[in-house]
């Protein structure tokens, strides 16, 4: 019998590749009979992907084979500005032939294709090769349920979601325990034309696959997971998270940041970090600085410029913060506060001095914060972060509400008063939220060890793959 081999195709963003690579590593840790090849699709705006994949190759040795696909003729950059999600979809669809040829040429005994939720067009490739397809969903079970709901919504209302619709203020989406306000829906599904149609097409294809693999764990999203699993129209659900890349990530400022945290009392520092694509305009930074100073909290603050239509890639820091922030801010917060550009997020969250996290609510960041028992104050920026924040605050009760509906480029300033109030609540030692987060920390760690819910679910997936290969 030839060695069964799975082919993974993650979305082209680093956040998608991180959890995919971690899933692949854990599968091999559990069963050496498997082989895995990861096909990496690049984009013109993610030059950092190549370097990241090189680091993965060097750290995994020969266990996982990475094949970086040639950049096929990409869609016009104007389409990226118009709707990033549609741009990524078109880019991946343009790689169908390349993916097919790569599998035929390089994979001797392919047992299945595991694709990111932006890669549903590759289901066609799997069908042509007579292979089973699985969706790997690197976000929440709740959001997966939203995507499955989109065709139903279209049938029910005859249109996309409308944030200004006065007749329907909240939507009953099956995987959320509370009615969902339009204001916290992902920006892409509020796009009445391209965005909604793009995501609905993806969601409508989810039921064609053999299984839905989600980077979550039952104990965290029990309501959403149970809802998905109980719907007989859905494929089998595998919960395999949290999938986290916890290795040390040295960088230019790593040593200085760790040295600063080493001098601070336990659980005393609030960490403000908004991802590689989450930044703010100078006027918002001023409000944040005022709040940090007035709150009296110790802080580590990763500051980036706001993403604009003209600049869609990874954000840079500011070179003139002393001219932007309130006069004397650095002097008055010296010793209790530090500002950086890049921050080693996993290492920071793991540090005993950190007691709170003001986050953009990307799913990887949420899982990292839960893993380390650090409570979050929500400040979503883009993508599905608004509905992640909503779920964390309203459904799960695991985060402090700073904002739920903030969006990058919206032109709305969050006041210093609102930020200060959230900071005080987040860092309040008596806040019962802190105990809930620590309890979930323990559950997250039990889920991935022998006998845990995710450990067993991953084992079930492996057995399903091997059993198909044996027959």
pLDDT in tens, 229-286: 999 999 999 999 999 988 866 667 899 999 999 999 999 999 999 987 788 999 999 9
Please give the pLDDT value at position 310.
46
- 85 and 221 share one domain: yes
Q: What is the percent of the chain where pLDDT is above 70?
A: 94
Spell out the residues 6+ positions from residue 404 whose beta carbon is closer than 8 angstroms to its own: 183, 184, 378, 380, 386, 389, 390, 393
Task: Tell me the pLDDT band of 307, cut-offs 50, 70 and 90.
Answer: low
The two structure tokens encoding residue 383: 């993508």
349 and 465 belong to one structural domain? no
Q: Which residues pair with 339 in a beta bridge?
A: 301
Q: How far apart are CA 158 and CA 449, in angstroms?
A: 46
The predicted model gives 330-334 an average pLDDT of 96
Q: Is residue 247 part of a domain?
A: no
70 inside domain: yes
pLDDT digits (tens, 9 = 90+) for 75-105: 998 898 889 999 999 999 999 999 999 999 9
Residues 191 and 53 in one domain: yes
> What is the total count of domains within the chain?
2
278 and 265 in a common domain:
yes
User: Please, what is the average pLDDT of the chain?
Assistant: 91
Residues 321 and 414 in one domain: yes
User: pLDDT tens digits, residue range 281-295?
Assistant: 999 999 999 999 999
Count how many residues are written for the chain. 471
For the stretch 389-410, pLDDT in tens is 999 999 999 999 999 999 988 8
**Res 167 pLDDT > 50:** yes
Residue 248 maps to a domain: no
On whether both 313 and 235 belong to a single domain, the answer is no
> Is residue 287, in this structure, part of any structural domain at all?
yes
Indicate if 455 and 435 belong to the same structural domain: no
Q: What is the DSSP string of 268-324?
A: -EEEEE--TT--B-HHHHHHHHHHHHHHT-EEEEE--BPPBTTB-SSPP--S-HHHH
- Domain check: are 315 and 421 in the same one? yes
pLDDT tier for residue 1 given thresholds of 50, 70 and 90: low
Record the tokens describing residue 439, joined without a space: 């309890």
Q: Are 94 and 118 spatial neighbours (Cβ–Cβ below 8 Å)?
A: no
Residue at 217 is within a domain: yes
Alpha carbon distance 390, 399 (integer Å): 9
Q: Are residues 231 and 258 in the same domain?
A: no
CB 199, CB 150: distance < 8 Å: yes
Please say if the pLDDT value at position 322 is more than 80. yes
Q: Could you tell me the pLDDT band of residue 29, with boundaries at 50, 70 and 90?
A: very high
* Contact status, residue 422 vs residue 401, Cβ threshold 8 Å: yes
| pLDDT for the residue 6 | 97
11 belongs to a structural domain: yes
Instruction: Answer yes or no: is pLDDT of 50 > 80.
Output: no
20 has a pLDDT exceeding 90: yes
Question: Which phi-psi region, left, alpha or beta, contains residue 343 (left: φ > 0; alpha: ψ -120 to 50)?
Answer: beta
Residues 320 and 461 in one domain: no
Secondary structure of residue 62 in the 3-state scheme: coil
Model confidence band, residue 318 (pLDDT cutoffs 50, 70, 90): low
Residues 173 and 44 in one domain: yes
Helices (H) and strands (E) in the chain, counts: 20, 15
How many Cβ atoms are within 10 Å of 419's Cβ, its own excluded? 25
Domain contains 85: yes
The reply to whether 112 falls in a domain is yes
Q: What is the CATH number of the domain that holds 268?
A: 3.40.50.2000
Structural tokens at position 457: 């679910």
The predicted pLDDT at position 319 comes to 66
Same domain, 155 and 290: no
Euclidean distance between CA atoms 133 and 125, whole angstroms? 9
Tell me, rounded to whole angstroms, the distance of Cα 199 from its chain centroid.
Answer: 17
pLDDT for residue 67: 92
State pLDDT tens for residues 110-137: 999 999 999 999 999 999 999 999 999 9
CA gap 148, 202 in Å, rounded: 9
> What are the contacts of 123-131 at 24+ separation with CB within 8 A?
123/205, 123/208, 123/209, 124/96, 125/96, 125/99, 125/100, 128/100, 129/100, 129/103, 129/104
Q: What CA–CA distances, in Å, run from 421 to 103, 259, 290, 292?
A: 54, 28, 12, 10
The pLDDT of residue 309 is 47
CA distance 143 to 147: 6
Q: Is the peptide bond before 187 cis (omega within 30 degrees of 0)?
A: no
pLDDT in tens, 413-454: 999 999 999 999 999 999 999 999 999 999 999 999 999 999
Q: Look up the domain containing 21 and give its range.
A: 5-241+448-470
Spatial separation of the C-alpha atoms in residues 471 and 467, rounded to whole Å:
6
């Amino acid at each position: 019998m030839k060695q069964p081999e799975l082919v993974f195709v993650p979305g082209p963003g680093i956040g998608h590749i991180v959890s995919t690579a971690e899933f692949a590593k854990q599968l091999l840790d559990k069963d050496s009979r498997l082989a895995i090849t990861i096909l990496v699709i690049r984009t013109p705006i993610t030059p950092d992907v190549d370097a990241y994949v090189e680091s993965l190759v060097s750290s995994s040795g020969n266990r996982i084979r990475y094949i970086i696909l040639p950049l096929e003729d990409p869609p016009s950059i104007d389409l990226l500005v118009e709707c990033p999600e549609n741009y990524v979809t078109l880019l991946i669809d343009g790689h169908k032939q390349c993916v097919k040829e790569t599998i035929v040429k390089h994979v001797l005994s392919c047992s299945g294709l595991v694709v990111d939720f932006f890669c549903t067009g590759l289901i066609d490739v799997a069908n042509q090769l007579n292979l089973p397809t699985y969706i790997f969903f690197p976000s929440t079970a709740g959001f997966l349920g939203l995507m499955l709901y989109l065709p139903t919504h279209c049938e029910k209302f005859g249109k996309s979601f409308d944030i200004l619709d006065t007749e329907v203020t909240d939507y009953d989406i099956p995987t959320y325990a509370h009615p969902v306000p339009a204001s916290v829906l992902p920006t892409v599904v509020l796009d009445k034309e391209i965005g909604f149609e793009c995501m609905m097409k993806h969601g409508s294809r989810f039921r064609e696959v053999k299984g839905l693999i989600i980077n979550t764990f039952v104990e965290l999203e029990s309501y959403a997971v149970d809802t998905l699993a109980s719907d007989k129209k859905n494929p089998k659900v595998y919960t395999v998270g949290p999938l986290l890349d916890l290795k040390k990530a040295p960088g230019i400022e790593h040593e200085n940041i760790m040295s600063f945290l080493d001098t601070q009392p336990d659980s005393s520092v609030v960490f403000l970090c908004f991802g590689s694509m989450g930044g703010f305009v100078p006027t918002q930074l001023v409000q944040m600085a005022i709040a940090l100073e007035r709150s009296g909290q110790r802080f580590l603050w990763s500051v980036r410029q706001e993403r604009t239509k003209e600049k869609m890639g990874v954000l840079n820091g500011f070179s003139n913060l002393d001219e932007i922030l309130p006069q004397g801010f650095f002097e008055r917060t010296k010793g209790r506060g530090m500002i950086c550009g890049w921050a080693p997020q996993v290492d920071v969250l793991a540090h005993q001095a950190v007691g709170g996290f003001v986050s953009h609510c990307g799913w990887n960041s949420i899982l990292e914060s839960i893993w380390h028992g650090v409570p979050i104050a929500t400040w979503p920026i883009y993508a599905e972060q608004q509905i992640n924040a909503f779920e964390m605050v309203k459904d799960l009760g695991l985060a402090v509400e700073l904002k739920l509906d903030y969006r990058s480029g919206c032109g709305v300033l969050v006041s210093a008063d609102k930020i200060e109030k959230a900071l005080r609540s987040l860092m309040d030692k008596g806040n019962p939220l802190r105990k809930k987060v620590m309890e979930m920390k323990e559950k997250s760690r039990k889920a991935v060890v022998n006998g845990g819910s995710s450990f067993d679910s991953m084992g079930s997936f492996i057995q399903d793959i091997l059993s198909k290969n044996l027959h």
